[in-house]
Amino acid sequence: MSKTLVFGHKNPDTDTVTSAIVYAYLKQQLGVEAEAVRLGDLNNETKFALEKFDFEAPRFISTVVGEAKQVILVDHNEFQQSADGIEEVQITEVIDHHRVANFQTADPLYFRAEPVGCTATILNKLFKENNVEIPANIAGLMLSAIVSDTLLFKSPTCTEQDIKAGEELAAIAGVDVAEYGLAMLKAGADLSDKSLED
């Protein structure tokens, strides 16, 4: 119960899942007992990214009640997109790139939202601000999130900051952005995978 859970929104996408893993890693490096969890099933795109960079899927939880007293939200802030029971725990941090709404706390917190295309672009800054090095496989997850949220830098929400972060992270991860990015997006769009599972 002393652990801090880190999670993104329901109906998880690649940014939500990888940002939970990545930010839990950063918090661990800073001495916080943090665990990434997820609120729903992974899609094929996210599975492809986790497999590529050798990560397990985070543990699934359906409610935060009985799981933790303190939580960190990534890639969302609106309570209706968050874990069941969110009103009953302390939110110590939010790292997000969406509008702020349907959110409130009783106490001051670290709330970092920026109008960029992807949570991972903000996390890239937080590693630098905290002087923590980004391992290659963590960089790979962050790149996957940016590719997913910006559709390989082509979405209207994509900013210069997302492009620059993507280039930095691709270099650390040692992957070709266009080649890996297209393969990942294709895995997400691949309907044959879906029919195998259903």
Contacting residues toward its own copies, per CB under 8 A = 97-115, 129
CA 83/CA 8 separation, integer angstroms: 9
Half-sphere exposure of 108 (CA within 13 A, CB side): 0
CA 69/CA 84 separation, integer angstroms: 13
181 contacts: CB under 8 Å, gap ≥ 6: 143, 147, 152
Question: Nearest approach, Cβ of 112 to its own copies (angstroms)?
Answer: 6
Which amino acid, residue 194? K
> What is the pairing mode between strands 90-96 and 34-38?
unpaired
Q: Which is nearer to its own copies, 59 or 99 (CB)?
A: 99
Question: Nearest approach, Cβ of 80 to its own copies (angstroms)?
Answer: 13
Q: Which is nearer to Mn ion, 4 or 18 (CB)?
A: 18
Q: Which is nearer to its own copies, 84 or 114 (CB)?
A: 114
Judged by the rule CB under 5 A, the positions of this chain that interact with Mn ion are 13, 15-16, 75, 119, 149
Q: Which is nearer to its own copies, 47 or 97 (CB)?
A: 97
Whose CB is nearest to Mn ion?
Answer: 15
